[in-house]
């Protein structure tokens, strides 16, 4: 089966000769760089809500985005028409948008296809009967409802996507990738005297349907139910500055917001980041080593090549507290006379690429997770984080806590209601005073930037920030 898939999937999406011609025409107005990005994405999703399979949906998006760079200006156009006529029209629009002078069509010669091989997928989702996908939803629904009568609503969602990309540029690069992602999530509502509470769990990997060989959707559903039930007894979250312990897995969002975005070279180039000009400096507490790694096989934010055709890399951003490097796409790297770090990504062919994270994680330390809690007199323990947001120019960032507990006299006590925590990235990085050895990856996420969403992963061991502002309502 693997061989059959490989043959069917690998092969040019658009004829290289046509790409060569289109790139040559794209440079006709004087551009110094042109690129064609071709994408074909098929997706399936199925939704169970209110006890019913409400819908199964499938979609297809296929097209090409063409960009032309002249000096400081990038022109961009896209088309859903992959015929020679469609591609040539988009190419003309992109080169016109780049507003260059122009001295006629230039010849572009593409190299042989290159780049690392796409990840091996055992079971392509499109080869799996839709009925099997739907059966998983019913299983999750039953498991969550069986957990407790207080679970009054369950939503379960299955989604997969198969994305093929092909990238050719005027430097002669010709490459591509196939990315297969599979996702499953369960959201529960619990009703009690205190009102309604919610609990969510999700799992997503850059793999095929074999995901469910190792993930039991019943377990996932029971964990989501448990989370909602726990919060029925939640007390209002405290308000003000205190130590915050973040459990294994979830803490990645904290780093994604506290410094991840601030280390993206496009924001650095515009001095719109508090970390601009700070390479080589100590920016975090000793023991803090932060890595962005697009090569982590199977993780939600991984790929063989990025959306500019650059192979994914493991990039060390902070090493034992010292800022070692930023993340780069082609455009910003070229200005600095260096290579891209494989972080040029886009939501789809209708978008320009920009610097994005992949899988961002904090390396494990040596502390004992139980001792970290025991050594915290009064504070908050966050078991699961929600999303977050950052203003990279000021460094102020928030992240949500969707499951959290009070720490009183070194013990976890009452669950607390949802809310955000707020901190300032550079200060928080220096205030990390404990890192455990219990590293885990977190839940699959979608990172939004400038209107584009891309899949990202994150991970951390248990860690403590000596001082963060918890945004609750309790006095």
Partner 1 sequence: MERRPEVPELLDLAEQIVGWADEGEQVEAVVVHERETEVRAYEGKVESLISAESQGVGVRVVHDGRQGFAYAGTLDPDALAEVLAEARDNLTFATPDEHCALAEPDGVKPAELDLYRATLVDHPTEAKVALALDLERRTRAADPRISGVESADYSDSISESAVATTTGILATGRETGCFLSSYALAEQDGETQTGFGFSLGREPSDLDVEEAAADAAERSTRMLGAVKPPSGRMTVVLDPWVSAQFLGIVGGTLSGEAVQKGRSLFADRLGEDVAAPLLTLVDDPTDPAAHTATGSDGEGLATRRNVLMADGRLERFVHNSETARRAGTVSTGSAVRGYSSTPGVGVRAVAVAGGDRPPAELIAAIDDGLLVQGVTGLHSGVNAVSGDFSTGAEGLRIRGGALAEPVREFTIASTIQKMLLDVLAIGDDVRWLPMRAAGVTLVIGELTVSGV
Which of these ranges, 168-176, 213-221, 336-344, 464-472, lies near partner 1 under the rule CB under 8 A? 464-472
Q: Which of 102, 106, 163, 198 binds partner 1 (CB under 8 A)?
A: 198
Hey, what are 10's tokens?
A: 């690998």
Q: Can residue 394 be called a binding residue for partner 1 (CB under 8 A)? A: yes
Which of these ranges, 71-79, 210-218, 310-318, 372-380, lies near partner 1 under the rule CB under 8 A? 71-79
Q: Can residue 400 be called a binding residue for partner 1 (CB under 8 A)? A: yes
Q: Can residue 425 be called a binding residue for partner 1 (CB under 8 A)? A: no
Q: Can residue 90 be called a binding residue for partner 1 (CB under 8 A)? A: yes
Q: How far is the CB of 406 from partner 1 (least distance, A)?
A: 15
Which of 71/117 has CB closer to partner 1?
71
Which of these ranges, 6-14, 90-98, 168-176, 294-302, lies near partner 1 under the rule CB under 8 A? 90-98
Closest by CA position to 363, among listed 286, 308, 421: 286
Q: Can residue 149 be called a binding residue for partner 1 (CB under 8 A)? A: no
| In contact, 64 and 101? CB cutoff 8 Å | no
SS3 assignment for 146-208 = HHCCCEEEEEEEEEEEEEEEEEEECCCCEEEEEEEEEEEEEEEEEEECCEEEEEEEEEEECCC
Q: Can residue 398 be called a binding residue for partner 1 (CB under 8 A)? A: yes
- The size of the interface with partner 1 (CB under 8 A), counted in residues, is 87
Question: What is the chain's alpha carbon radius of gyration, rounded to the nearest angstrom?
Answer: 24
Q: Which of 365, 369, 386, 442 binds partner 1 (CB under 8 A)?
A: 386
Give 260's DSSP letter: I
Q: How far is the CB of 103 from partner 1 (least distance, A)?
A: 20
Q: How far is CA 332 from CA 266, 267, 335, in A?
A: 6, 10, 5
Q: Can residue 378 be called a binding residue for partner 1 (CB under 8 A)? A: no
CA dist 353 and 116 (Å) reads: 20
Q: Which of 249, 423, 442, 444 binds partner 1 (CB under 8 A)?
A: 423
User: Other CB atoms closer than 10 Å to residue 394's CB: what's the count?
Assistant: 12
Q: Which of 130, 335, 338, 378 binds partner 1 (CB under 8 A)?
A: 130
Which of these ranges, 163-171, 321-329, 375-383, 391-399, lies near partner 1 under the rule CB under 8 A? 391-399
Q: Which of 210, 216, 418, 433 binds partner 1 (CB under 8 A)?
A: 418
CA dist 469 and 399 (Å) reads: 11
| In contact, 11 and 154? CB cutoff 8 Å | no
Q: Can residue 241 be called a binding residue for partner 1 (CB under 8 A)? A: yes
Q: Can residue 387 be called a binding residue for partner 1 (CB under 8 A)? A: yes
Which of 51/104 has CB closer to partner 1?
51
Which of 151/305 has CB closer to partner 1?
151
Hey, what are 380's tokens?
A: 């908050």
Closest by CA position to 78, among listed 99, 100, 63: 63
Which of 316/422 has CB closer to partner 1?
422
Q: Can residue 89 be called a binding residue for partner 1 (CB under 8 A)? A: yes
Q: Can residue 469 be called a binding residue for partner 1 (CB under 8 A)? A: yes
Convert 434-467 to b/e letters by CB count within 10 Å (16 or more is b): bbbebbbbbbbbebebeebebbbbbbbbbbbbbe
Strand pairing report for 378-390 and 239-246: parallel
SS3 of 210, please?
coil
Q: Which of 18, 150, 189, 282 binds partner 1 (CB under 8 A)?
A: 189
| In contact, 441 and 205? CB cutoff 8 Å | no
| In contact, 388 and 268? CB cutoff 8 Å | no
Q: Can residue 94 be called a binding residue for partner 1 (CB under 8 A)? A: yes
Which of 142/368 has CB closer to partner 1?
142
Q: Can residue 142 be called a binding residue for partner 1 (CB under 8 A)? A: no
SS3 of 152, please?
strand
Hey, what are 105's tokens?
A: 């069509």
Which of 210/396 has CB closer to partner 1?
396
Which of 111/450 has CB closer to partner 1?
450
Footprint (CB under 8 A) of partner 1, residues 28-47: 46
CA dist 91 and 76 (Å) reads: 8
Q: How far is the CB of 322 from partner 1 (least distance, A)?
A: 21
Q: How far is the CB of 458 from partner 1 (least distance, A)?
A: 14
Footprint (CB under 8 A) of partner 1, residues 205-234: 231
Hey, what are 261's tokens?
A: 């975005």
Q: How far is the CB of 366 from partner 1 (least distance, A)?
A: 31
Closest by CA position to 19, among listed 162, 165, 177, 178: 165
Closest by CA position to 323, among listed 181, 414, 426: 426
Closest by CA position to 457, among listed 258, 268, 249: 249
Strand (E) positions, 206-340?
239-246, 290-293, 314-319, 322-323
Q: How far is the CB of 206 from partner 1 (least distance, A)?
A: 22
Footprint (CB under 8 A) of partner 1, residues 308-327: none
Residue 466 CA neighbour count, 13 Å, CB half: 9
Q: Which of 1, 2, 11, 58 binds partner 1 (CB under 8 A)?
A: 58
């Amino acid at each position: 089966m693997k061989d059959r898939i490989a043959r069917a999937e690998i092969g040019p999406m658009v004829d290289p000769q046509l790409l060569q011609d289109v790139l040559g025409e794209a440079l006709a107005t004087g551009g110094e760089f042109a690129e064609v990005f071709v994408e074909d994405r098929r997706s399936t999703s199925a939704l169970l809500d209110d006890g019913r399979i409400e819908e199964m949906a499938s979609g297809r998006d296929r097209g090409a985005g063409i960009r032309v760079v002249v000096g400081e200006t990038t022109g961009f156009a896209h088309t859903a028409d992959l015929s020679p006529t469609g591609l040539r029209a988009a190419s003309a629009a992109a080169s016109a948008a780049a507003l260059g002078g122009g001295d006629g069509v230039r010849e572009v010669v593409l190299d042989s296809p290159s780049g690392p091989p796409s990840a091996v997928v055992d079971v392509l989702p499109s080869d799996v009967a839709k009925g099997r996908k739907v059966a998983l939803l019913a299983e999750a629904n039953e498991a969550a409802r069986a957990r407790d009568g207080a679970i009054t609503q369950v939503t379960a969602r299955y989604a997969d996507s198969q994305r093929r990309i092909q990238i050719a540029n005027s430097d002669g690069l010709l490459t591509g990738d196939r990315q297969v992602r599979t996702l499953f999530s369960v959201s529960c509502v619990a009703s009690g005297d205190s009102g309604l509470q919610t609990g969510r769990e999700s799992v997503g990997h850059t793999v095929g349907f074999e995901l469910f060989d190792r993930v039991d959707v019943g377990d996932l559903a029971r964990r989501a139910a448990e989370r909602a039930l726990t919060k029925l007894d939640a007390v209002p979250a405290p308000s003000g500055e205190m130590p915050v312990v973040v459990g294994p897995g979830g803490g990645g969002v904290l780093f994604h917001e506290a410094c991840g975005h601030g280390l993206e070279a496009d924001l650095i180039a515009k001095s719109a980041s508090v970390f601009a000009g700070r390479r080589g400096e100590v920016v975090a507490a000793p023991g803090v080593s932060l890595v962005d790694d697009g090569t982590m096989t199977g993780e939600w934010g991984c790929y063989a090549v990025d959306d500019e055709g650059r192979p994914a890399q493991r990039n060390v951003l902070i090493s034992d507290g010292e800022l070692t490097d930023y993340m780069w796409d082609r455009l910003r790297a070229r200005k600095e006379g260096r290579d891209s770090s494989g972080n040029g990504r886009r939501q789809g062919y209708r978008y320009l690429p920009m610097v994005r994270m992949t899988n961002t994680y904090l390396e494990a330390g040596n502390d004992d997770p139980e001792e970290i809690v025991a050594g915290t007199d009064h504070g908050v323990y966050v078991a699961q984080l929600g999303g977050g947001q950052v203003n990279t120019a000021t460094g102020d960032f928030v992240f949500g806590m969707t499951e959290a507990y009070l720490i009183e006299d070194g013990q976890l006590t009452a669950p607390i209601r949802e809310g955000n925590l707020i901190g300032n990235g550079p200060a928080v990085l220096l205030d990390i005073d404990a890192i455990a050895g219990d590293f885990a990856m977190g839940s699959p996420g979608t990172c939004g930037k400038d209107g584009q969403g891309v899949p990202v992963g994150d991970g951390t061991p248990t860690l403590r920030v000596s001082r963060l502002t918890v945004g609750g309502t309790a006095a």
